A = this chain, B = another copy of it.
Amino acid sequence: MSRVRVDLNISLDGFATTTDQTPENPFGDDWGRLTGDYVATRTFRERVLGMSDGSGTTGVDDTYAAGYFEDVRAEIMGAAMFGLHLHGDDPDWRGWWGEEPPFRCPVFVLTHSEREPIAFANGTRFEFVSMAPREALKAARAVATGGDVRIGGGPTTVRDFLREGLVDSLHVAVVPILLGRGVRLWDDLRGLEAGYRVTAEAAESGVTHLTFEREDGR
């Protein structure tokens, strides 16, 4: 059954997006710390970095990392995640991911600015749409052909979908660090847990993997 999924890394104090970027350090130091245990997994190294030397961790973190890519046939992301807040004035900007973006499926980027679609040889195709969450989800489902739709991020976009009750499965990797700054995932989501089965699993790295699965199985 096609599901709407979210996977995010957050700090203990709830920050899913970091704000310490500079021109010299476009991702910032906090981002590296937030994603370090995910980046260290064998799945990330194979799937995102294109490494095939069998390196990387293979424990609980890797199990969730592998799940991240399973069955996703369409993705929706906010303009900031694609980089438009920084690079929106550059008509040639193609995202952060080089010529092998790890999505390998249609990606709907929510933005009010008009941009031409960008297609890559590996199946990734960015399409820029000005749509509300439900409308974007309908468009994504139409091309997902029974596969899952992932809401990729950032946290503001994810919250929009969570608040409208559109997410079936939420996986949050809670990293044992306190950032003290950034954009929080959990703001204004009181009572979100209603209707979900919530589970927690501790990884060897110290990361806790939280999952919210919708109870009615939709």
Copies in the complex: 2
Task: Please report A residues at the B interface, Cβ cutoff 8 Å.
Answer: 12-14, 174, 176-181, 184, 186-193, 198-202, 206-208, 210
Query: Of B13, B179, B200, which contacts A14 at CB under 8 A?
Result: B13
| CB-based contact B181/A190 at 8 Å | yes
Closest chain B residue, CB of each to CB of A189: B178
Chain B residues closer than 8 Å to A180, beta-carbon distance? 187-191
CA distance A180 to B191 in the complex (A): 8
Chain B residues closer than 8 Å to A12, beta-carbon distance? 186, 193, 210
Within the complex, what minimum Cβ distance (angstroms) separates A199 from chain B? 7
Query: Of B14, B188, B202, which contacts A202 at CB under 8 A?
Result: B202
CB-defined A-B contacts under 8 Å, sample of 10? A12-B210, A176-B193, A178-B190, A180-B190, A180-B191, A181-B190, A199-B202, A199-B206, A200-B202, A200-B208
